[in-house]
A and B are shown apart, each in its own frame.
Chain A
Amino acid sequence: MAGSNEVNLSESKRVVPLNTWILISNFKLAYNLLRRPDGTFNRHLAEFLDRKVPANANPVEGVFSFDVIIDRSTSLLSRIYRPATGEEALPSIMELEKPVTGDIVPVILFFHGGSFAHSSANSAIYDTLCRRLVGICKAVVVSVNYRRAPENPYPCAYDDGWAALKWVNSRPWLKSEEDSKVHIYMVGDSSGGNIVHNVALKAVESGIEVLGNILLNPMFGGQERTESEKRLDGKYFVTIQDRDWYWRAFLPEGEDRDHAACNPFGPNGKSLVGMKFPKSLVVVAGLDLVQDWQLAYVEGLKKAGQEVKHLYLDKATIGFYLLPNNDHFYTVMDEISNFVSSNYVEDDKFGEIGNGDKCKNWLVLKALIGGWSFGWY
């Protein structure tokens, strides 16, 4: 047992930069402490260990943020990130909810990851990621501090996501000038990706338009043990056992992993045929053990006639998008930027992308052209 652990440790160390390895290993070990075998969660220790950052109405690298209470009864809070316009050095209270300027201003509704149990909108890792998204997409980002399992299992996270979507959709100050509508995209990683899908379902039913879904390493699963789960179990920071724990914590009592929330295209899934479901960008990390379920999700969307772009990153592990120190990071940020911008060109003939010199080329090109609008494809 110890021997195979050693093999696993050195394998994961070979595929990610050292600081990424340290970051994700730290999470892995800390999280092991927090999950109790009886299904309860050491929330106090989790909150103690989580590194949080305050909102900051002073712009830092062109982005400022502030928190808003969306629903007092559930203490639902969201952190709003906006680009600093440069007119005011320090936005005052009035500037915070000043109307956005621009024909089209994308508004990204962001759901952080953490397998439904960990992290918050004000976790440092997600605050940093959201700030990046503002610059990359020239968007306003709204990061939802949804209620977490096991204290608040299904459907709390979805309810909170839905409340946030309605709130965003009804903010006069988020309307694009072109059509006086809020241009909404939903982005989420891990459990956040799962929430994106489920909130989109609600949106379609209720007639709120979502322009696109972006799912980064989305958290899906099922009763069956897939080939990727068996092959990659324990090898790259994640185990089948911990995935099972989080599903048990989130899903209603007595339900198994074929519940529609976990397995949207499984035996209990809902058919999306004929639905005006938003177009999707699904990013799958090649070393993520749940990739078979993520690929099944993509297939499910395709079979239902829905527009989906699938980005498969060969050697990426979970969390690759948390630090800008690898090729995959830049590839994905680029994709997201294209997806959200209005001149997005559809290309559904996707497969693997070679990542080799992409980072270097990208940096050179950015330096030369100084912009994000250059498309790769």
Chain B
Amino acid sequence: MDELLAVLGYNVRSSDMVDVAQKLEQLEMVMGNAQEDGISHLSSGTVHYNPSDLSGWVQSMLTELNPPSSAFASSSQQTPIDDPLLAPSESSTITTLDFSGSRQQSEHQSRIYNDNSDYDLSAIPGVAVYRRPDQQGDGEKSSKRMKTASSSSSSSTQQVQENGLASVAESTRPVVVVDSQETGVRLVHTLMACADAVQQDNMKLADALVKHIGLLAASQAGAMRKVATYFAEALARRIYRIYPQDSLESSYSDILQMHFYEACPYLKFAHFTANQAILEAFAGANRVHVIDFGLKQGMQWPALMQALALRPGGPPSFRLTGIGPPQPDNTDALQQVGWKLAQLAETIGVEFEFRGFVANSLADLEPSMLQIRPPEVEAVAVNSVLELHRLLARPGAIEKVLSSIKAMKPKIVTVVEQEASHNGPVFLDRFTEALHYYSNLFDSLEGCGVSPPSSQDLMMSEIYLGRQICNVVACEGAERVERHETLSQWRSRMGSAGFDPVHLGSNAFKQASMLLALFAGGDGYRVEENNGCLMLGWHTRPLIATSAWQLNSNFNPTSTSASTSAHSQ
């Protein structure tokens, strides 16, 4: 790896430097000769992936401008992109936005309608990736798949690079200071001192400090006061050993999460980006099966179903398996959600099947219970939004679950997790990390902007986050389930378990960015691309990350190469 370029974010092997330079020269010449619509299509039509892989990026642009029949084609592209008219079309997009008046709308040539149903849907029928089965080959799909294939064929080296980066990245502490007022600083100081006292097991001092925090917090304003209050409460619980009961009804926590969903864009981003990856993976499939590791109120699925319904050639038949915790009052919450989704499916004309599974832990699941159909028959997507980190509380659990996922032979696995390091061995470090993280999160909730969240959504969101804070700070052992880890740590884990990354591209990035414009404090929210994954953050601090995975081709017995598996339907 060229070290100087690596520091600047570009991974180029030293042995590839001359080749990359040559490709850049070629690209410049081709761009110079291309007509203006060629350039503009490269800009607005082509989906770009992983700019850190400079060689791959330049190559993919060369390929877009030059079908392999020309002399400039690289030998690594085998599938002909037969129809240049189809090549630039964007993949089907799903979003919950209203684009009226936006420039982008005319580019997409799409119609938008507002659906005022419970799920607040607005779908944009984009140009879908799926083509009629009677058409031979699928040019643009294959060009997109090519991108995935070439990135996975180089994934072994990328994996090494990513793992190498992982050990460096783990010690990164991104900090955005949101409150420099003296009172704020003193408050933080006291919180830290208290946490330190707890760590030293000096409970007398800790007790005194906790009371002091209460006084300081009262004179503070805004996000900092709320954050400090939650952290102080959590510290108090830890000191006095009054541990919070996690047995609070899951329906209550689902409701809290729904308000959080409404108040800020993090969960919407999660659902949106995961759905985008799932939609692309389902291209060409007639039967699809989504396994949702945390169904809750099923808020992720209407948008996906809508997008599937609008696929040219018609929707696939859609099966959803929703997993959830047991309900104390024995109501079948899962079935209720399934029923609502079934009603939606009927109105939009999608063949729908639902199964709910109650499990205390994902580790209790056996793949055989889920009645998975073979990959040739049905494409499977496994979706986990903020669920995997909980498994880290019990030894062996995550390994079991990852192994189960592999047994489900998924076409794609989407993982969304908090971008935070809340699972380190040292309490004080966890405390500090969490303080930074939740300070930023609460600050984003305050946001000034066009449409601030309703006060009820705001309040419930704060309670939702407060419970997480409590768990991170006051609990230990199997009780401490909010064991958030960073994207680089998850990358390591997924890679070791036999998964290859599936990169999210510039189309998902763009749509996600546009999604943010609708939210209060829109300016503060930022989407970032990170080696094929997408992260949403507040200002420069990423707070949530979406990654997508497929089985390493060695593990997939139905395909002979990564590119073949993309065409398995």
Contact = CB atoms under 8 A, between A and B. Distances in A.
B278 to A, nearest CB: 20
B9 A18 contact: no
Nearest to A24: B24
B205 to A, nearest CB: 18
Interface string B30-66: 0111001001101110001001101000100100000
Contact of A23 (B5, B178, B189, B528): B5
A345 interface: no
Closest 9 CB pairs of A and B: A51-B9, A54-B174, A44-B510, A124-B9, A75-B523, A66-B175, A57-B173, A33-B43, A67-B176
A77 B540 contact: yes
Given A33-B43, A55-B174, A69-B176, A9 B28 contact: yes
A326 B178 CA distance: 39
Nearest to A28: B28
Which has the most chain B C-beta neighbours within 10 Å: A21, A28, A55, A56?
A: A55
B539 A57 contact: no
B24 A2 contact: no
A341 interface: no
Interface residues of B, number: 65
A45 B48 contact: yes
17 contacts: A6-B29, A19-B12, A25-B25, A33-B42, A36-B43, A42-B44, A47-B527, A48-B48, A51-B52, A55-B176, A56-B174, A57-B173, A57-B175, A66-B175, A79-B540, A93-B189, A124-B9
A29 B176 contact: no
B478 interface: no
Contacts of B172: 54, 56, 58
Given A32-B39, A54-B542, A97-B180, A26 B29 contact: no
Interface string A1-17: 11001100100010000
Given A9-B28, A72-B448, A44 B174 contact: no
Contacts of B524: 75
B230 interface: no
A29 B4 contact: no
Given A45-B48, A51-B51, A51-B52, A13 B21 contact: yes
A33 B34 CA distance: 12
A37 interface: yes
Interface of A: 1-2, 5-6, 9, 13, 18-19, 21-23, 25-26, 28-29, 32-34, 36-37, 40, 42, 44-45, 47-49, 51-58, 66-69, 72-75, 77, 79, 90, 92-94, 96-97, 122, 124-125, 128, 322-325
B17 interface: yes
B510 A48 contact: yes
A22 B20 contact: yes
B513 A97 contact: no
Nearest to A20: B4
B176 A22 contact: no
Contact of A5 (B21, B29, B40, B509): B29
Contact of A22 (B5, B188, B432): B5
B12 A128 contact: no
A246 B528 CA distance: 25
Contacts of A54: 172, 174, 540-542
Which has the most chain B C-beta neighbours within 10 Å: A6, A22, A92?
A: A22
Contact of A128 (B8, B43, B188): B8
Contact of B31 (A32, A67, A94): A32
A92 B432 contact: yes
Given A56-B173, A58-B173, A67-B541, A51 B36 contact: no
Nearest to A75: B523
A52 B527 CA distance: 11
B436 A93 contact: yes
B397 interface: no
A172 B171 CA distance: 30
Nearest to A131: B7
A5 B175 CA distance: 45
A67 B513 contact: no
A18 B21 contact: yes
Given A67-B539, A97-B180, 4 more contacts: A25-B24, A66-B176, A77-B539, A90-B173
Interface in B476-507: 506
B185 interface: yes
Contacts of B180: 68, 97
A349 B7 CA distance: 37
Given A44-B510, A45-B43, A26 B189 contact: no
Contacts of A45: 43-44, 48, 506, 510
B103 interface: yes
B51 A48 contact: yes
Contacts of B173: 56-58, 90
Interface in B169-228: 171-178, 180, 185, 188-189, 192
A34 B506 CA distance: 13
Given A19-B4, A34-B43, A58-B173, A47 B513 contact: yes
B434 to A, nearest CB: 12
Contacts of B36: 37
Contacts of B8: 23, 51, 124-125, 128, 322-323
Nearest to B539: A77
Contacts of B185: 93-94, 97
B279 to A, nearest CB: 19
A2 B33 contact: yes
B9 A53 contact: yes
B85 interface: no
A324 to B, nearest CB: 7
B353 interface: no
Given A53-B9, A56-B172, A128-B8, A21 B539 contact: no
B407 to A, nearest CB: 35
A23 B185 CA distance: 41
B163 to A, nearest CB: 19
Given A22-B54, A56-B173, A93 B528 contact: no
A94 B9 contact: no
B174 A19 contact: no
Given A2-B29, A93-B432, A44 B506 contact: yes
Contacts of B232: none
B18 interface: yes
A93 B178 contact: no
Contact of A48 (B18, B42, B178, B509): B509
Given A44-B513, A49-B51, A125-B8, A22 B539 contact: no
Nearest to B191: A93
Nearest to B174: A54
Contacts of B17: 18-19, 22
Given A2-B32, A128-B8, A19 B2 contact: yes
B27 interface: yes
B43 to A, nearest CB: 4
A73 B524 CA distance: 10
Given A45-B510, A97-B185, A75 B539 contact: yes
Contacts of B18: 18
B175 A96 contact: yes
A29 B178 contact: no
Which has the most chain B C-beta neighbours within 10 Å: A40, A47, A323?
A: A47
A69 B189 CA distance: 20
B523 A94 contact: no
Contact of A49 (B27, B29, B48, B513): B48
Nearest to A10: B25
B310 interface: no
Nearest to A56: B172
A37 B36 CA distance: 9
A44 B103 contact: no
B130 to A, nearest CB: 24
B448 A69 contact: no
A121 B65 CA distance: 33
A343 B513 CA distance: 49
A28 B25 CA distance: 11
